Structure formats: C-alpha cells, structure tokens
Structure 1
Amino acid sequence: MAGTEIFGKEELEAVQDVIERKMIHRYGSHGARRGIYRVEEFENRAAEISGARHALAVANGTAALIVALKGIGIQPGDEVITSPFTFIATVEAIVACNAVPVLGEIDGTLSLDPVSTERLITERTRAIMPVHMFGAAADMDRFAELGKKYGIPIIEDACEVVGGTYKGRMLGSLGTCGTWSFDPNKTLTVGEGGIVFTDSEEVYSRMDCYHDHGHIHSKEHDRGAEGKSGLGVNYRLSELQGALGLVALQKMDYALGLLRSTKKRILQAVSDTGIVPRPTHNGEGDTASHVIFMLPSAESALKFRDAAVSAGCGCSIIADNTWHFAKHWKALEVMGEKDWFGTRTPSYAPETMAGSDRLLARAVMFGLSIIMDDSAVEAIIHAVRAGTKAAL
C-alpha cells in the first residue's frame, strides 16, 4: 500500500508548474508569485474535506503531532496518554516536547481503550492521544466524553487513516487537534508531509507560528519583515509538496474506493468460514488499508498464519509487529521509571502491556495495495480459507 501506486500525469504536471514558476518556498515573494500559493490551497482543500476550521500543512506526520502538542501548550513533565499499538512517532512526538508518554491498553478494536485511559488520568495529564490504526477509528464518542469530563484536550493521531470517517465525520477533525500523514507508505503521499487540523483560532495561531521559526505570517509583509511570536522550528512544507497534495486529495475517493471494494470482496468471500473480522467503531468509514481477523487464541493465530503463508500469501500476527507495538521498543523501555522534568516516568516493560499483547497475539493481518489484480485478491481469499481450516 502506497500512494505512489496512483501517481500519473497529474502529479507530473503539478510539479512542473511549480518548477517552471521557480516558486518553491511557501511564504514570501508575494509580488513574484502571481497570487499562487499551492501549500495554502492544499490546506484550504484539506480543511474543506475534513470539516475542520483550520488546517496547517507541515513537513511530516511526526511534525504534525509535535506541532499539535505545542499548540495546546504541552510543557515539560506533562503526561500524555496514548496507545501502545501505534507507530513510534506518536511517542517520539510526546518525548520531543519533554512530556511523559503514558501507555494505556487497547480494546477489542485494537484502538486505545477509554476505560484503561480513564484509570490513568492524573493531575499531570494534559492530553489524551487516541490513535486510529490500520484503517479503523478509536471510540471517539467516549474520548470526547473523557475530554469534557476532565477538561483534557484530545489529539487524534489520524496519520494512518487519511480519509477515514467516524459516524459521518472525518477522522482528524473530531478532537482539539487531529493529524494526517502523507509519507511514502500512506494511501495518499506527497513524499513527506503532514497536516494538523483544529477548530481553535488560538491553537492554530500558536501552531502556525511555531512551525516556522515563530513567524507571524502576513501577506502584507514580505519574508523577513514579519513579526515574531517567539521561538519555533522549521517544519514548513514546500510548494512542490503542496502541489502534490492537491492532486492527492483529488484522488482520495478513488483510492479509498478501490481499497474498500477489495476488502469487501475478501470479507464476503470468506464469510462462510466462521472467521471473525476485527470489530470497528466506524464501519463503512474504515479506510480498508488492512484486513484483520481475530482468532480465538494466540495458538490458533499461529496455526492460521503458518497455513496462510504455506498457501502462498503473506500474513502476520500483529503482536510480532516490531514497527507498531511498543512492547518491542527497547529505546522506550530504557526511558522507563526515570525522573523526567520533575515527573517519574512509568515503566514501559513488556509486561505492562500484557492486555494489549494478548489481543494483538490473536490478531492476524493482511495488508492491501490500492491497485490489486484478481490473482492477488484471490490469493488472500485462498490463504484465509487455508488458515481458517487449520485454526478453527
């Protein structure tokens, strides 16, 4: 699965236009650029699609998470609750703000569990960061309730689910802030890029300044003559990526339509086998980037995987996924139980994630590509049937 699968002449034309105009920087040079601001157009279109009031394009999904945390005012030593089933960038963004990651457990949908989250809330909790993983949404109604009950901002890590919805609303637009990623492995890509959404004018203003060295952006002043709000970093997106982003958003429905059609075909073809798909909170809003089944036990999952692989199709058990399960992150484990800006970090030892481990050990996964021919789809169907026969 990667957005480059659907690259074509539209991307070439978009990039060529930027190069021919020799206007790479997203800010400044107002007189020379003839009113054309591709990153700004990308942001406006993303905001329109998402339903959020503001969208800020940044260098990548990790930067989007950091900018969101900075935007809500995260300080050193603050605690941020998030999921152990995510990409490490979620935790790295928290640490980059000198805040403390607190890992909850996941629920049966493999998303951060609201019940586990509520137990972890302390007087130092300053944000909750549910992660929408492998196409499916976290329980955003419950997280909205927790945010309101405790006065805690909710940041959606929606980097994996661009275009996904929850009860008709776009993922990334439901929290105080939400993030999308457009890296090379995402369904839509601009090479490297991300977006942060928010409805808050105040949060947006802080994020906008922080992501570009503290500049207060204005088209009334050229680059360098703008005011400064303070210090920041350089997480800007270039006009090349903005141009690619506009094309990517035009192709969103096409890409998601293909993925959803493929997943539906697979699930319908194996519906008579007794295999149980992962439950989700967002049904038709799933981006269908993965097909995941829940087996009765870790032992049956092993049998399923081995039989599926023997049948000629790659299949993995999510508990073994070193890329997305914090149990495997040695760098995080070393950080556990240390003084961190006046706060004692929790333990990140594998045994602290035992509940999540038990669920993920039962979860078998097939990744989908946007473009799949009949033989590739039939290979997955054949593998699921072989795995089910061996495991159930």
Structure 2
Amino acid sequence: MAGTEIFDDDEIRAAADVIRRRMIHRYGSHEQRGGVYRAEEFEAAAKKITGSRYALALSSGTAALITALKGVGVKPGDEVITSPFTFIATVEAIVACDAVPLFGEIDETLSLSAASAEKLITPRTRALMPVHMFGAAADMDSFTALGRKYKLPVVEDACEVVGGTYKGRALGGIGDCGAWSFDPNKTLTVGEGGMLFTDDRDVWFAMDCYHDHGHIHSKEHDRGAEGKFGFGVNFRISELQGALGVVALSKLPAALASLRAEKKKIMDAGRAAGLAPRPSHDEAGDSATHAIFMLPTASAAKKFQAAAKEAGAGCAIIGENTWHYAKHWEALAAIGEKEYFGNKTPSYAPESFAQADEKLSRATAFTLNVKMGEEEINKIVRAVEAGAKAAL
C-alpha cells in the first residue's frame, strides 16, 4: 500500500517546478513567489473532497492529530476516549497533550463502539476520537449524536482511510475536526504529510497558529512581521509536499477504483468459500486498503493464516499486530495506574483488552496495493480458498 507506487512524471514535474522557483517555504516571500502557493492548493483540493470550510496541511498525520486536539481545547489531565484498534500515533497525540487516553470497546466492524464510549464519559472527558481503520468507517451517526448529547467535540482519526466515505460524506470531514495522513505507507503520499479539516473558524484559527509557532498568518505582512497568537510548534508542510499533494489528490479516484476492484474479487471468493467478511457501517464507502475476514474462533484464524501462507499469500491476524493494537504497547505502562496531571489513569494491562481480543484474534487481513497484477490478486484468491478449506 505504499503511495509511491503511483508516482510518475507528474510528481517529477511538480517537484521540479518548486525547486526551479526556489520557493520551498509555504509562508512569506509574497512578492517573489508570483501568487503561487502550492500548500494552499493542496488544502483547497482536499476541501473539495470533504466539503469542509477549512483545511490545514501539516508535516504528518501525527502532527495533525496533536494539532486537532490542541485546536478543540484538550488540556493536561483531560480524558480522550478512543479505540484500542488504531495506530499508536492516535494515543501519542493524546499523551502529547498531557491528556489521559481511555480505550472503549470495539464493535463488530472493529471500530470504536459509541455505546462503550458513552459509558466512559466523565466530567473530565474533553473529546471523542473514533478511528476509521483498514479502510472502514466508524459509526459516525452515533458519534455525532453522542458529541451533541454531551457537548463534546468529535475528532475523527481518518489517517488510514483517505478517500473513504460514510453515507456519501468523506471521512475526516464529518466530525468537529478530522485528520488525514500522507505518509509513505498510505494510499497517497507526499513523503510525510497530514491534513486537518473543520468547519469551525475558531478551531481552524487555533490550529493554524499552533502548527507554526503561534504565527497569525496574513498575506498583508511578510514572514516575521505577522502577529503572534501564542506558543506553538513547527508542524508546517513545505511547498514541495504541497505540490506533491496536489498531484496525489488528482489520482485519488483512480487509486480507489483500482483498490475496490481488487478487494471485490477477493471478498467475493471468500464469500463463495463460506467466509464471513468484516461487517461494515458503509461497505460502499470503504477505501479498500485491506481485505478482512472474520473467522469463527481464534484457533480457526490460525489455521486460516497457516493455510493461506502455504498457498502463497500470507495474511495477518489483527490481534497479533503490534503496530495497530494497544494491548501490545509497552509504552502505556509508563502512564498506567498513576496520578497524571490530577487524574488517575487506567492500568492499560493486557487483560483489560479482553473484549477487543475476542474480535481481533479472529480477524484475518490481507493488505492491498493500488497496482496489483492479476496473478498477484489470483494468488490471494487461492490463499483465501485454501484458508477457508482448512479453517471452516
């Protein structure tokens, strides 16, 4: 799923243009740049996809998540509710704000359960952070309703699902704030990069200032002459990344079409062999980066995995995935069961993830790439059929 697989001369031309003009910084030098702002073009293209009022390009998806939480006002000691099935950056963003991560349970789609999230809400809760994982959307109707009910901002971690939708709306553009990632392993990449979305001008302004040392950006002043909103960090994107991003988003429809065609062939084969696909809150909106089957037991998943590998196409069992499952993150022990900015943290002990274990230990996943040849897809199909025969 490395985004560089769809690089061609378009990216070379876009990068060369920035280099020839010697205009790398996204801000300032207004007279010299001749009205060309590639990072702004990247943001504008992203806004067209989500329909959001504001978009902010950043240096990474992780930077986007941190900036989102800062933008909605998360402070030390606050609680943020999220999913145990996510990339560690989700939790790192919470901890970077000196806030306390609380893990809800996952539903049958392997997404954060809104019902379980509601049970975790306390007076210290400051944000809800559903995560759209491995192509599929969380139940955004329920999270939107939950946010309204408790007056809590909903921050969508859509870093894994650029281009995915939920009931016709682009993921990342549904909550109060949403984040995309463009790192080297995503469907689209700019090397390293992220994007934030919001319809709230105050949230956007806070995020825009925070991501660039607190600067208040204005084309009426050159770099260094603008005002300051407060302290911030350096999460800026460069004009090189902006130029690559414009090209990347132009290729999104074709990339999604290719992934979805590949996934359909694999999932159809699995269904025909008696396998149960991971359920979905919106199958049509899946960004199709993974083909996931739910086996009846953890033991059956092991048999499926072994037979698939022997047939020529290995698959993962998500419960064993150390990158995307909080149970495996030893770093959590450093803040577990401690006073943390006036709040007591949970233990984060492995046994606390028993509910997620039951589902993730049965979930088998094949990762898909945009440009897969027919033989490569057929190899996965044969592996799926062999796995089903061994496990069911």
TM-score (norm 1): 0.99
Corresponding residue for residue 197 of structure 1: 197
Rounded to whole Å, the distance in 2 between the matches of 1:269 and 1:100 is 43
Is 1:295 matched with 2:302?
no
Q: What SS does the corresponding residue of 2:331 show, helix, strand or coil?
A: helix
Corresponding residue for residue 176 of structure 1: 176
Deviations, residues 148-179 of structure 1 (Å, cap 9, x unaligned): 11111000000000000000000000101000
Pairwise CA distance, 1:272 = 1.7
Corresponding residue for residue 383 of structure 1: 383
Deviations, residues 316-375 of structure 1 (Å, cap 9, x unaligned): 111000010000000112321111100001110111110001100000110111101111
Rounded to whole Å, the distance in 2 between the matches of 1:87 and 1:54 is 25
**Mapping of residues 359-374 of structure 1, within 5 Å:** 359-374=359-374
Is 1:209 matched with 2:209?
yes
Corresponding residue for residue 82 of structure 1: 82
Q: What SS does the corresponding residue of 1:215 show, helix, strand or coil?
A: coil
The unaligned stretches of length 5 or more in structure 2 are none
Rounded to whole Å, the distance in 1 between the matches of 2:339 and 2:262 is 49
Rounded to whole Å, the distance in 1 between the matches of 2:144 and 2:211 is 27
Pairwise CA distance, 1:270 = 3.2
Pairwise CA distance, 1:38 = 0.2
Q: What SS does the corresponding residue of 1:308 show, helix, strand or coil?
A: helix
Rounded to whole Å, the distance in 2 between the matches of 1:141 and 1:172 is 13
Corresponding residue for residue 358 of structure 1: 358
Rounded to whole Å, the distance in 1 between the matches of 2:229 and 2:51 is 28
Rounded to whole Å, the distance in 2 between the matches of 1:46 and 1:282 is 21
Rounded to whole Å, the distance in 2 between the matches of 1:171 and 1:387 is 32
8 Å CA contact 2:269, 2:384 repeated in 1:
no
Corresponding residue for residue 246 of structure 1: 246
Pairwise CA distance, 1:45 = 1.1
8 Å CA contact 2:18, 2:240 repeated in 1:
yes
- Structure 1 runs (4+) deviating above 4 angstroms are none
Rounded to whole Å, the distance in 2 between the matches of 1:42 and 1:70 is 22
Rounded to whole Å, the distance in 1 between the matches of 2:373 and 2:47 is 34
Corresponding residue for residue 224 of structure 2: 224
Q: How many residues align?
A: 392
Rounded to whole Å, the distance in 1 between the matches of 2:270 and 2:212 is 50
The unaligned stretches of length 5 or more in structure 1 are none
Corresponding residue for residue 342 of structure 1: 342
Q: Which moved more, 1:51-60 or 1:325-334?
A: 325-334
Pairwise CA distance, 1:269 = 2.7
**Mapping of residues 99-178 of structure 1, within 5 Å:** 99-178=99-178
Pairwise CA distance, 1:306 = 0.8
Rounded to whole Å, the distance in 2 between the matches of 1:288 and 1:49 is 17
Rounded to whole Å, the distance in 2 between the matches of 1:83 and 1:267 is 25
Q: Which moved more, 1:260-269 or 1:56-65?
A: 260-269
Amino acid at match of 1:291: A
Q: What SS does the corresponding residue of 2:195 show, helix, strand or coil?
A: strand
Pairwise CA distance, 1:271 = 2.5
Q: What SS does the corresponding residue of 1:244 show, helix, strand or coil?
A: helix
Rounded to whole Å, the distance in 1 between the matches of 2:233 and 2:81 is 25
Q: What SS does the corresponding residue of 2:323 show, helix, strand or coil?
A: coil
Corresponding residue for residue 33 of structure 1: 33
Amino acid at match of 2:348: Y
Rounded to whole Å, the distance in 1 between the matches of 2:282 and 2:333 is 33
Aligned-residue Cα RMSD (Å) equals 0.6
Corresponding residue for residue 11 of structure 2: 11
Q: What SS does the corresponding residue of 2:101 show, helix, strand or coil?
A: strand
Rounded to whole Å, the distance in 2 between the matches of 1:177 and 1:303 is 41
8 Å CA contact 2:81, 2:125 repeated in 1:
yes
Corresponding residue for residue 61 of structure 1: 61
Deviations, residues 99-153 of structure 1 (Å, cap 9, x unaligned): 1100111111000011110110001000000000000000000001110111110
The share of aligned pairs that are identical, in percent, is 66
Q: What SS does the corresponding residue of 2:322 show, helix, strand or coil?
A: coil
Rounded to whole Å, the distance in 2 between the matches of 1:101 and 1:54 is 27
Rounded to whole Å, the distance in 1 between the matches of 2:34 and 2:184 is 31
Deviations, residues 271-310 of structure 1 (Å, cap 9, x unaligned): 3211010011121110000000001111111111111111
Rounded to whole Å, the distance in 1 between the matches of 2:8 and 2:347 is 48
**Mapping of residues 264-279 of structure 1, within 5 Å:** 264-279=264-279
Corresponding residue for residue 236 of structure 2: 236
Rounded to whole Å, the distance in 1 between the matches of 2:306 and 2:337 is 38
Corresponding residue for residue 21 of structure 1: 21
